[in-house]
Chains A and B, each alone.
Chain A
Amino acid sequence: MGRVVLVTGVGRDLGRRFARQLAADAAVERVIGVDISPPRGDLGEVSFARADIRNPIIAKVIMREQVDTVVHMSVLPPAAAAPGVSAKEINVIGTMQLLAACQQSPDLEHFVLKSSTAVYGSSSRDPAMFSEDMDARRVGAVGFVKDLNEVEGYVRGFARRRPDVRVTTLRTASVIGPGLNTPLAAYFRLPAIPTVLGFDPRTQFLDDTDLLDVIEHATLRDVAGTFNVAGDGILMLSQAIRRLGRPALPMPSFAMASLGTVMRQARLADFSREQIAFLTYGRGVDTTRMREVLGFEPSRTTAEAFARFAESLEPGVLGERRVRAVETTLHEALGGARARAAALTSAVPGLREGAHDG
């Protein structure tokens, strides 16, 4: 008998795409998508249950459908959450209720949590690369970092209470891809990109197809544990902005906070406190365990994932083609000058001879 999988957060584009991709797999019999808001696109074979994970209905769905696998994808940063509901409500309380429902179910065998590398926070005391056994360096983390840590804590508690259930946590780096509407994508779509003056954070990206693949991999393979997932290599934020060909707009960190408030109200981009911390100190995660234990290899490196995203945007004023054109023009003008100078010197004696003849 194939697997019956419950996927939360299918109202979002990534959740919907994942549910469809999973439904197409031969090992999966049924996929049930759950969210408060209905998905915007086509769900295909996935059956959709409009339910709030904070509601006991979810327990009934799990029981009745004899769900053996739960993929929890609706832990989201505040900006991506549905408007009008506090992100903490959905993230923390929602996870608690979902886990309570899972604990009741005798059929459940696998639980996969899509977390984020944001769980490590960002600070000046961070090591260059976080591995899975490290914690956020700043005690008293706030906002989404705190939420994520609490969510992961609940999931660990659940794993202790139900040792028969295989629990896998994926801490994924910033997901990026064409057409994807994440807070980070909105940030890179700004015509001039605000950065924190005097800081150049390190960033890692994960291609959106790789994100879907890794969750599918973790859902179907029987590997338990916590794994960092990111594309290979590092891009500095300044480098990423240059690759987009957009001008950077450095501003002091205190101005960044007030700009963030304005931007959030104008719904342009997310500049929450943890986002500003990330734009200041950056973050890198070690993906050795992803390769060696989970056995997953992302198809695109950080740079390739970002390049794929950059292609979907219009090049900025400092786009590569333009810079290349300027370089060629300059080079030809100067190189051409030498050729002309050489022609002149060879021509001048001839001229003089002509004058003598005359």
Chain B
Amino acid sequence: MGDAEIIPIGTRGKPGRGTGSSKPSSSARKLAPGPKRRRSPQPAAPADEAVVRSDSESPPVPAPRAPGHAATGDVTGDVTGDVAGDVTGELAGAGERDHRHPERGIPAVDWIAGFTAAAIEVFGDNWEPRLASFLAFLRRRLTGDYAVDDYGFDAEITQRFFLTAIRPVAEKWFRVEVRGAENIPATGGALMVSNHSGTIPMDGLMTGLAVHDHAHRFLRPLGADLVFRLPVVSELARKGGVTLACNDDAERMLRSGEIVGVWPEGFKGIGKPYSERYKLQRFGRGGFVSAAIRTGVPIIPTSVVGAEEIYPLVGNIPSLARLLGLPYLPITPFFPLLGPLGLVPLPSKWIIEFGEPIRTDAYDGGSAEDPMLVFNVTDQVRETIQQTLYSLLIQRQSVFG
């Protein structure tokens, strides 16, 4: 381009100190060779000629190849189309305008062509309907035109955003291997009971993804009340389908035919030291078993191998944790030593095995009140998971294998 201007650094292309005033400051005027000075020797006649010529031709063809145009650049289209009289004055004005808003020089058609190319790049060949549906999705989200269920679960955002975001982590980072997915019932309620580990509940996310991708159903996890006390976490948890771990909610969900996930070890499991890895902690008070018996849904013992190694917990600061109202404050070999970098989980190899369902529909509702029966079923579930964990550990070649 002949009119490549010298743009003072750090002013976003505007003269002066970027105050937005149309006049450059005196120092800027001194520094920058003004467009006028370079343009004033331009003879007006050739430009005039060009105008006349372009007028005689059909309008859409841009008036090209005129000698004067080398200097006037992009804006000539406007200039030639406009008054032909005071060309030099017009040019100077246009030059200044161009200088302040470089994007004005790019015609709208080029912008659209750019967008189109970008859309093809992002959405593939079949981009137009997909872009339309994407825009409609954005509009619906912006205007609140979507539905959530009684628990605040937003299926659309979970499927299109949360699960999509963690899928690469599951596939590429943890290389999650799913076994026994046929044990997840295709319809009706079920209670998925799993071991808990990993300092942060990553195993819950991965199990949820496995259930969605292999059984095409949503896992509805039960979370501790801490989840609903923490800002941001609480908001995301409700949208992702989590509800409070209490019998009322669990039974309500099971009755409405959802797959409910429960991690009965709770904080004792997730915050246990690395030296105790794969040793199941106490399974609460068996509340989950009585919920399953009352609603007559099967219990699916689920064993997750690999989550123990993502953040090996080697220490804890109980006093600071108490101060912050948290159940534990983890120290791993990399956190807080490496700061935010220490938050990257180690790429252990994961195996999730869904065990054979344990039926509870043979018991009548009153059995839920029988403590002996509840303890027995709890122990059965716990033993099944523990044995599966050991056999999976033997099968796994190495931690990062």
Question: Are A331's CB and B113's CB within 8 A?
Answer: no
Closest to B114 in A: A337
Closest to A125 in B: B225
> Can you give 28 A-B contacts (C-beta < 8 A)?
A124-B226, A125-B225, A125-B244, A127-B246, A128-B151, A128-B248, A129-B248, A129-B249, A129-B252, A134-B248, A198-B231, A198-B233, A199-B231, A199-B235, A202-B151, A234-B152, A239-B146, A240-B144, A241-B144, A242-B141, A242-B143, A242-B144, A243-B145, A252-B231, A324-B139, A327-B138, A334-B116, A340-B109
- Is B383 part of the contact surface with A, judged by Cβ < 8 Å? no
Chain B, range 123-170, C-beta contacts under 8 Å to A = 128, 131-132, 135-136, 138-139, 141-152, 154
- Is B317 part of the contact surface with A, judged by Cβ < 8 Å? no
Question: Are B112's CB and A333's CB within 8 A?
Answer: yes
- Is A79 part of the contact surface with B, judged by Cβ < 8 Å? no
- Is A320 part of the contact surface with B, judged by Cβ < 8 Å? yes
Take A125-B225, A127-B244, A128-B249 as given contacts and tell me if A243 and B116 are in contact as well, using a CB distance cutoff of 8 Å.
no
CB distance from B111 to the nearest CB of A (A): 9
Question: Are A127's CB and B249's CB within 8 A?
Answer: yes
- B269-291 CB mask vs A (1 if < 8 Å, else 0) is 00000000000000000000000
Question: Are B231's CB and A234's CB within 8 A?
Answer: no
Question: Are A334's CB and B119's CB within 8 A?
Answer: yes
**Measuring CB to CB, which residues of chain A are less than 8 angstroms from any residue of chain B?**
124-129, 131, 134, 196-200, 202, 233-236, 238-243, 245, 252-253, 281-282, 284, 303, 318, 320, 323-324, 327, 330-331, 333-338, 340-341
Take A242-B144, A243-B144, A330-B135 as given contacts and tell me if A128 and B231 are in contact as well, using a CB distance cutoff of 8 Å.
no
Residues of A within 8 A of B231 (CB): 196-199, 252-253
How many chain B residues sit at the interface, stated as a range, is 35 or more
The distance in angstroms between the C-alpha atoms of A340 and B112, with both chains bound, is 10
Question: Are B147's CB and A233's CB within 8 A?
Answer: yes
- Is B228 part of the contact surface with A, judged by Cβ < 8 Å? yes
- Is B14 part of the contact surface with A, judged by Cβ < 8 Å? no
Q: Which of A233, A238, A337 has the most CB of B within 10 A?
A: A337
The distance in angstroms between the C-alpha atoms of A253 and B234, with both chains bound, is 14
Question: Are B142's CB and A337's CB within 8 A?
Answer: no
The distance in angstroms between the C-alpha atoms of A264 and B147, with both chains bound, is 33
CB distance from A101 to the nearest CB of B (A): 38
Chain B, range 223-262, C-beta contacts under 8 Å to A = 225-226, 228-235, 238-239, 243-244, 246, 248-249, 252
- Is B115 part of the contact surface with A, judged by Cβ < 8 Å? yes
Question: Are B234's CB and A323's CB within 8 A?
Answer: no
Question: Are A323's CB and B246's CB within 8 A?
Answer: no
Question: Are B238's CB and A331's CB within 8 A?
Answer: no
Closest to B246 in A: A127
